[in-house]
Structures are given as structure tokens and as C-alpha cells.
Amino acid sequence: MRPGKEIHFEISERKILLRLFDVLSVILSLYLVDYLFNFNYFNFSTQNFYWVVVLGIYVNIFGTVFEMYNLQVASNQFQVIRSIVLTSSVTALFYLLTPVFTPFLPLNRLQILYFFLAVFGGLLCWRIFYQAFLASYRFEKKVILICDREQVQELVTGLENIDPHYRIIGYLNSDFYEHETFRYDYVTNLSIEEIDDFIKQNSVSEIVIASQKTDGMTVPLYNKLLHLLETGFTIREYTQVYENITQRIPIQHFDKDFYRYFPFSRSNQNKLYLLMVRVLEVILSLAGIGIGLLLLPFIVIGNFAGNRGKLFYLQTRVGKNGLPFVIYKLRTMVKNAEKDGAVFATNNDHRVTPFGKFLRKARIDEIPQFINILKGDMGFIGPRPERPVFVQELSEVMPFYDTRHVIKPGLTGWAQVNYTYGETMADSLIKLQYDLYYIKHRSVFLDLNILIKTFSTVLFYRGQ
């Protein structure tokens, strides 16, 4: 008989839940306003059902831009209210200003206020309910981990730091030669004989296998797992769980046979996808260069007053297949910033000028890279191109680092929208994990996700 389980939402399921009920709450709120007040702007009927579809699309798009579906934001009361205000304001504005797909502008200004308050109120009420009940520890997922004793702390913190509702409450030592009992924090050391009772008593949802030692998978343990699997119990492999939760590749748990089970995305060889991407890159590059020309007079004045030196900065970077190319940037640092040799840029780097800091925060310093994209040296999305000296250093200490070069480097990427500067080797390892995740899962939907997150980065002035 299958052990009893408590309700738990996976991270992807939470995001789907948030998107679906954001739209439903707004529609319900508008229906109530239409029922209780003389609200003539948004009427429900079968003839204008597409008004609801367009509204749902707007809520999801602008909710993504303003981080409504970032689970850390969704669980933070202050941050989510800010996101709700921005999302409802921009959604209402766009909905009012696109009468081809939406109702015509109301003549009564009070109708506009009703519409905004309905959108805002619907989102606010639903998100308060989500924080009070669905984002609470009532819905945590309890897990048993099978691993070596020395791995327990690393694996537990690695998963729980990403999803605090994913709790490893027990582990089974898979080290065949280690029989000493060990307890880490609240994680209980189990024996094979205790697993069944522990699962029932604690409503355990799944078992995660993380051991890299095959001799630890004894016949009794194998039979126990097989029995649980036959009863419908979920058993997963650690790298799969880690990848799903963190959306990056756990290369520290891979061996030298990495390429045997690292399936590169088919999009990397899909000619239609690559052609479509290239056409969009040319269009976006021309638009970006046009915006740069409009901003150029102000940049020249700011550079003269704040940087006092050359406006542009040229630097050699490593591109696709490891081939070097020259990247174009607006200069943001003082003169002779690397007179003592190349070093990683850091957050609040003292070499960055005040005007350069503004250019970086607004991502304006990267506008000249649209020329690189137009030339084909870079793509719009991909791993950020690194300097040859750093590539050599990182490749020597970090396995699979050169895998980043199987596609073009990008102006923005999965690592850039999910992580900060790579100030240390540990930071560079995390960014590599994100880059490999993009290479593995590259698709139109992931590209759109990165574009929206990049827009959020610029909008919230979070450039680096």
C-alpha cells in the first residue's frame, strides 16, 4: 500500500498556480465590480470573451516583468505588494491603450479607477491568501536522502537554500565501509529496516539517491527501494532533483563521463530555430544601435564630465568554438584600471567611475555590443564571453568549462539574469552551472524567459 503523503507544491507547480489564479482572481474581481457597481467598461459575454484572454496575457507578461512569479518575491509581503502595484498599473494602462483588442476607452474616468482597483484588489487578495496558506510550511515536502555521510551537509543545504519547503528529514548512509552513526542537525540517520516506519510516521514524499559509490547499493537496499517503487512511491536521482529545483547543472557531482549523459538541446542544431534567432538578433541589434545613437550625445557629455577619457573600450574575448574576437563596450573604469594585471570585476569595484556605475546599472555600457551581434561574433542570448586569461585559468580548475563555447556568447544569458558577478572561483562555478543548463535546455520559451528577466534587470536598475 502506498504510504500517505502530505500536500506539497513543486517549484514549477507553484509558478503555474500563481499564474493561473492571478488571472482568475482578476476576472472574479472584475465580475464583482460589474455586478455591484455601474461598471460599463468591462462586460462579460460570449461575444467579447477575447477581452478576458488578452487581459490574462497582459497579467502574465507584466507579472513576469515585475517578478510576480519569483518565488522569493511571492513569499515576501513587502516585495510582492510592490510587484502588485507595478503589475496592476501597467496592465491597466496597456489594456486601456490597446482598444483594438480590448474595450474602447471609457468616457467616465470613474470607470478607469474601477478597472484599476479591480485588477489591484484581485491580485492583492489572492496573494495574501497564497502567503498565508500555500507558501507556508503546511505544504513542505519531506524527503529521505541516500548518500555518503560526508555529503549530507552539502546536499541538504544545497537543496533547502533554493526551496525552504523541500526538507530532507532523514538519510541513509550508503558508504558500505562506514557503519558509524551520524546525525546532522534535524536529519535522522536511518537503517534499511527503519525506512518503512519512518516514511509512514513522517509522511515522507520521496527518496533521493545521491550516492556515487555503487558498492553502497547493497542487495537489501536495492530490494527495499524496488518494493517502494512498485507501491507507487517516488524515487529520484539527486542531479535530476537539483537541476529541477535550481535550474542549473550540478557538475560538481558529475564524473569524467559527463558528455555521455549531458544531452545538448536540439535547438543548438535546429536550423529553423537558429534562422529565427538570427533574424531577431539583426532586428534587435539595429534597434539597439538606433537607441544608442539617440543616447550618444548625453553619454558623451557624461563621459567628459565623469570619466574623462576614451568613450569606447575594446577588449579581446573568447567566442564560439574558443575563437577570440574583439568586444565593444563603453568605458566605465578609470584609466589604467588593470595596470597590475587582469582581475575579476567585483561588486562595488573601486575602479568603476561614478558615471561608469550608472552606465553599468542601466546596462547602457553594453549597447556597443549590438555591433558584435550584428557582425555575428555574439548572439543576443548565451553565456557571457570571458577574457582568454580567465578562460585558461577557469578551464584548468573547472571541468567542462570549455563546454560554454559550443554556442555563441551572448549579450545576456541565463547566468546573468539569475546570478551576480563572478568574483571568485565558486561564483564562476555557479555561473557555469547556469550556462550549461541553458545549453542543455535551450529553447524559444527559455529565450523569452531570459529576455523578460533582462528587461526586469534594466527596469529595476540591477545591472552589474
Task: Tell me, yes or no, whether 348 and 389 share the same domain.
Answer: yes
Residue with cell 529595476: 460
Task: Tell me, yes or no, whether 241 and 274 share the same domain.
Answer: no
Q: Name the CA radius of gyration of the chain, rounded.
A: 26
Task: Tell me, yes or no, whether 275 and 352 share the same domain.
Answer: yes
Judge whether 330 lies within some domain.
yes
User: Domain ends where: 86, 119, 134?
Assistant: 134
pLDDT recorded at residue 143: 93
Burial of residue 47 (CB within 10 Å: 0-12, 13-18, 19+) is exposed
User: Domain ends where: 78, 102, 134?
Assistant: 134
Query: Alpha-carbon distance 156 to 153, whole Å?
Result: 5
Burial of residue 246 (CB within 10 Å: 0-12, 13-18, 19+) is buried
Judge whether 446 lies within some domain.
yes
User: Domain ends where: 80, 114, 134?
Assistant: 134
Task: Tell me, yes or no, whether 200 and 159 share the same domain.
Answer: yes
DSSP state of 137: G
Task: Tell me, yes or no, whether 236 and 273 share the same domain.
Answer: no
pLDDT recorded at residue 11: 67
Cβ–Cβ under 8 Å, residues 367 and 291: yes
Cβ–Cβ under 8 Å, residues 238 and 208: yes
Query: How many domains, the chain?
Result: 3
Judge whether 256 lies within some domain.
no
pLDDT in tens, 200-239: 999 898 999 987 666 667 888 889 999 999 988 999 988 8
Judge whether 299 lies within some domain.
yes
Task: Tell me, yes or no, whether 175 and 127 share the same domain.
Answer: no
Judge whether 261 lies within some domain.
no
Question: 400-426 in b/e burial notation, b at 16+ Cβ within 10 A?
Answer: bbebbbebbbbbbbbbbbbbebbeeee
Q: Cell numbers of 197, please?
A: 516506519
Query: Alpha-carbon distance 455 to 283, whole Å?
Result: 17
Judge whether 284 lies within some domain.
yes
Task: Tell me, yes or no, whether 89 and 195 share the same domain.
Answer: no
Residue 441 bridge partners (DSSP): none
The whole domain housing 87 covers 11-134
Judge whether 255 lies within some domain.
no
Q: Cell numbers of 60, please?
A: 502574465
User: CB-based contacts of 37: which residues, under 8 Å, 6+ apart?
Assistant: 114
CA 102 to chain centre: 31
CATH number for 196: 3.40.50.11060
Query: If residue 142 lies in a helix (H) or strand (E), which one and from where to where?
Result: strand 141-147
Task: Tell me, yes or no, whether 406 and 301 share the same domain.
Answer: yes
pLDDT recorded at residue 1: 41
Cβ–Cβ under 8 Å, residues 239 and 254: yes
pLDDT in tens, 145-186: 998 877 788 888 878 777 777 889 998 887 755 555 556 667
Q: Cell numbers of 437, please?
A: 543548463
Task: Tell me, yes or no, whether 348 and 441 share the same domain.
Answer: yes
Pick the closest to residue 74 from 123, 138, 122 (CA basis): 123
204 — phi, psi (to 5°)? -70, 135
Task: Tell me, yes or no, whether 453 and 307 share the same domain.
Answer: yes
Task: Tell me, yes or no, whether 322 and 421 share the same domain.
Answer: yes
Pick the closest to residue 238 from 343, 300, 168 (CA basis): 168
Judge whether 2 lies within some domain.
no
Residues of the chain with pLDDT under 70: 1-8, 11, 136-138, 176-185, 212-216, 252-264, 336-348, 421-423, 461-464
Cβ–Cβ under 8 Å, residues 114 and 22: no
Task: Tell me, yes or no, whether 66 and 165 share the same domain.
Answer: no
